[in-house]
Amino acid sequence: MILQSLRLRNFRRFENLFLELPENVIGIIGRNGAGKSTILEAIAWALYGARAARTEKSLLRRQAATLAEPCEVELTFALAGVDYRVLRSMRGANHAVEAALYRAGLSEPVAVRENDVSNEIERILGLDRKSFEASIFAKQKELAALSNMRDEDRRKLISRLLNLDAIDFARKRAMQEANDKRNFVEGSRLSQEDLEELQQQLREHQARRAQAEEHLQTQQQQEREWRQKREQAKAAFEAESQRRDRAIKLQNERHTLEREMALLQQQLQQAESERREITLAQGKLAELAPVRERWRRLKAEKEALEENRRKLAALHGKQQLIKNLTEQMQKLERENASLQHELAALPGLLAAEKNVNERVQQAEAALRARRETEQNVLAELAKVRDKGVEEKQKLQQVQTLGADSPCPVCTRPLAEHFEPVVTRFQRTLAKLREDYLKLEREKREAASQAQDAEMRLKTLQQERERLGNERARLTQVQTQVAGQLQRVDELRRQYDRTQQEIQQLGAIQVDETRAAALQTELAATEKQVEEMTRLEAHLARLPGLESRLTQATARLDAYRQQEDTARQALMDLQFREEVYWQYKQAHDEASLQHSQAQKQAGEAHAAFATAAAQVDNLEQRIALMTERLAVIARVKQEVLLLEALQEHLKTFRVEMAGRLRPLIEGRASEIMRMATNGRYSMLELDESYNLYLYDQNRRFELNRFSGGEQDLLNLCLRVAI
């Protein structure tokens, strides 16, 4: 893995930082607290996320950064000739983490979301976070993490780093596959059937199938013979059925014609009786002829009287309308005079409303300025309070730990700098208290001024609302006056039209005595006219009645002729019912015999199909058993090969482990010799990769040496691996 570049944004103390990482050894130099460890932490956080951070994730964001600004790390690296770019960022008050991993040559990310990116990087590097920190990457004061592991954990980690676990995995897979195949062979052997017994059963069922096939052919021949007999009986029965249907049809036609002739004779009798009644009505109608003329004269006189009545009622209504219109116009004119008096105050009201609107705008601007001043003071007050709390916590921490406490900047022990640091914190807190009290006074003053401005604005808004309501009321009055003036004009035009209509009607008189006598006389005459109308309608039916009598006589003659023809055809057919039933009985007997033959043939076919299916089943089972025996033989051979492979891998694993440990031991010794200028030139690793260092040709455990020498020895081992 070769690091290529690193970009930080709002990460710990760095607002923006971009580093190009050249190949070979890189040294990062800076004073305590300058951010050296932060750069290494950013690399680990980009690869493994929050698990690789020194603190909780909320402390990763730069202290001066706002919640809207992202905390972001972007790392590019190469592995096995492939370039990768990993981007991890944290946003918002909830510190939500987003991540993406890109591979060169692909437009879409290889992985997104925090956990998916971490898992994909573990897969690419072949190291989880713990293995990464115990081998390639060492946090501050954790360089000896590898040598401090338990023996078993150290062996597993180094085997993984050296890719020896791939051999273990291959051996485990070979063992598992061999077990699976042995289980398959054992299961197949237990479920295997007796091949010779199946072959004997096959021969028996083949003989049964041959017998069933011969019986099937016999039954099918009998079924064909009975089918031919049934067809012959069916043809004779259908011919006799047609003769019977023809006879029934002719008999039904005769009965229908007889009913129709009886109905026509009844209709002819009724028509003759009706014709005699119409002849009598002609004489009575001639006697009532003068009555209709007298009825028309009386009706015309009555209509003239009704017209005069309608005109008189209209005249009275228009006179009443003239009176109502006069009263409405007088009332509207009085109301308009009163409303015009109220409208005189409208121009002054508009001027006053304009003045109040300008004062409201000025008051709103003043209130915004007061509120802004108050918010600024509150913001400064919060900053001073937070700063005071932070400084107080630092002072308490330093006082609690004493002179051995770490420096808040460089983390080194304070020692002789303890008292100056405490004094500096106390002066800072005193200055912050003075600033806080001053801002408290400014806050109270700003709040009071804002409250006064708000009261003035509220008073002006109430005055503006009152003037607006009054203006809206006068506007409605103005609209009401215009509407009433328009209404007066409409009433006046209606008054003039009504006066003209009264003049056009003139004087009208109605003789009520003559109207009553006319009503009595007209009622008596109308009864006679209704009788005449009924007689005329009865007389008008005579031509149609004569036509129906002629048509009915002709139809009766035609029906009699058709009845004679049907009777003669029935005699010529010579149909006998007993002959029909003989043919039907013969057909039913043939159908029954054919159905029984079909059933027997079906049973024979089912028996044959069953025998054939059993033969096919046995043949398939024999073929499957033969194939399975071949598979079992092949799997047994594969089990032997897998067992041999397992032993070879075991031997190979032991040999590789024995060859790699001396190589690592020699490489680490060479690096140690160069790092100490020959002071130490030889170290040793046991089977658990515990470190031993030779000093003047004597072997010693690691705890004999100083902390710096132990860290150097662990560094040499990591580089060698």
| pLDDT per residue as tens digits for the range 141-199 | 666 777 777 888 777 777 777 777 788 888 889 899 989 988 888 887 777 777 778 77
Phi-psi region of 689 (alpha: psi -120 to 50; beta: other; left: phi over 0): left
Give 64-73 pLDDT, tens digit per residue. 888 889 999 9
Burial classification of residue 348, based on how many CB atoms lie within 10 Å of its CB (0-12 exposed, 13-18 middle, 19 or more buried)? exposed
Which contacts of 468-472 are long-range, i.e. CB under 8 A and separated by 24 or more positions? 468/353, 470/349, 471/346, 471/349, 471/350, 471/353
**Contact assessment for residue 47 and residue 75, using Cβ atoms and an 8 Å cutoff:** yes
The 10 Å CB-count burial string (b at 16+, else e) for 139-175 is: eeeebbbbbebeeeebbbbbbbbbebbebeeebeebb
Give whole-number Cα distances, 581 to 21, 226, 249, in Å: 115, 21, 18
Q: Are residues 480 and 500 in the same domain?
A: yes
pLDDT at 410: 54
- Of the CA atoms within 13 Å of residue 318, those in its CB half-sphere come to 19
Which two three-digit tokens encode residue 365? 């601007």
The 10 Å CB-count burial string (b at 16+, else e) for 101-120 is: bbeeeeeebbbeebeebbeb
In a domain, 80, yes or no: yes
In a domain, 713, yes or no: no
Distance CA 285, CA 292 (A): 11
CATH number at residue 51: 3.40.50.300
Find where tokens 């109608």 sit. Answer: 285
In a domain, 564, yes or no: no
pLDDT at 82: 92
In a domain, 531, yes or no: yes
> pTM of the predicted model, to two decimals?
0.38
Q: Are residues 421 and 356 in the same domain?
A: yes
Max intra-chain CA distance, the chain? 171
Is the pLDDT at 364 greater than 60, yes or no? yes
Which two three-digit tokens encode residue 448? 């009071």
Q: Are residues 458 and 390 in the same domain?
A: yes
> What residue type is assigned to position 213 of the chain?
E
Is the pLDDT at 295 greater than 80, yes or no? no
**Contact residues for 436 (Cβ-Cβ < 8 A; gap 6+):** 381, 384, 385, 388
Q: Are residues 396 and 535 in the same domain?
A: no
Give 225-269 pLDDT, tens digit per residue. 888 888 888 888 788 788 888 888 878 887 887 888 888 788 777
Q: Are residues 485 and 353 in the same domain?
A: yes
Which two three-digit tokens encode residue 8? 């930080």
Q: What is the chain's length?
A: 721
Distance CA 684, CA 689 (A): 9
Is the pLDDT at 88 greater than 90, yes or no? yes
**Contact assessment for residue 412 and residue 418, using Cβ atoms and an 8 Å cutoff:** no
Is the pLDDT at 99 greater than 90, yes or no? yes
561 vs 305 pLDDT, higher one: 561
In a domain, 579, yes or no: no
pLDDT at 630: 84
CATH number at residue 453: 1.10.287.510
pLDDT at 72: 94
Distance CA 681, CA 674 (A): 8
DSSP state of 406: B
In a domain, 552, yes or no: no
Is the pLDDT at 85 greater than 90, yes or no? yes
Mean pLDDT of all residues in 661-682: 89
Q: Which of 137, 116, 109 is nearest to 3 (CA)?
A: 137
Which two three-digit tokens encode residue 714? 């662990």
**Contact assessment for residue 568 and residue 253, using Cβ atoms and an 8 Å cutoff:** no
pLDDT at 641: 93
Q: Which of 381, 366, 361 is nearest to 443 (CA)?
A: 381
Q: Are residues 313 and 424 in the same domain?
A: no
Which two three-digit tokens encode residue 121? 């990087």
Q: What is the dihedral of CA 240, 242, 244, 245, to 10 degrees?
A: 160
Last residue of a domain, one of 505, 530, 550: 505
DSSP state of 705: S
DSSP SS3 for 7: strand
Which two three-digit tokens encode residue 142? 């954790």
Give 25-44 pLDDT, tens digit per residue. 788 888 877 888 899 889 99
Supply the mean pLDDT for the chain: 82
Mean pLDDT of all residues in 428-452: 87
Give 500-531 pLDDT, tens digit per residue. 877 777 776 666 777 777 778 777 777 777 77
Phi, psi of 651 (to 5 degrees): -65, -40
How many structural domains compose the chain? 3
pLDDT at 17: 93
Phi, psi of 260 (to 5 degrees): -65, -40
DSSP string, 454-469: HHHHHHHHHHHHHHHH
Last residue of a domain, one of 85, 104, 129: 129
Is the pLDDT at 534 greater than 80, yes or no? no
pLDDT at 422: 81
Mean pLDDT of all residues in 433-452: 87
- pLDDT tier for residue 294 given thresholds of 50, 70 and 90: confident
Q: Which of 483, 471, 468, 485 is nearest to 347 (CA)?
A: 471
In a domain, 193, yes or no: no
Strand partners, 27: none
Please, where are the H alpha helices in 114-194?
A: 114-125, 129-134, 151-161, 165-191
Give 453-473 pLDDT, tens digit per residue. 889 888 888 888 888 888 788
Q: Are residues 29 and 71 in the same domain?
A: yes
Q: Are residues 353 and 501 in the same domain?
A: yes
Q: Which of 21, 38, 27 is nearest to 78 (CA)?
A: 21
Range of the domain at 67: 1-129
Which two three-digit tokens encode residue 466? 């009152």
Least confident of 190-199, 283-292, 388-397, 446-455: 283-292
Last residue of a domain, one of 98, 129, 160: 129
Q: Are residues 466 and 536 in the same domain?
A: no
Q: Are residues 390 and 531 in the same domain?
A: no
Distance CA 515, CA 13 (A): 120
Distance CA 356, CA 231 (A): 116
Q: Are residues 356 and 467 in the same domain?
A: yes
Q: Are residues 52 and 17 in the same domain?
A: yes
In a domain, 28, yes or no: yes
pLDDT at 670: 92
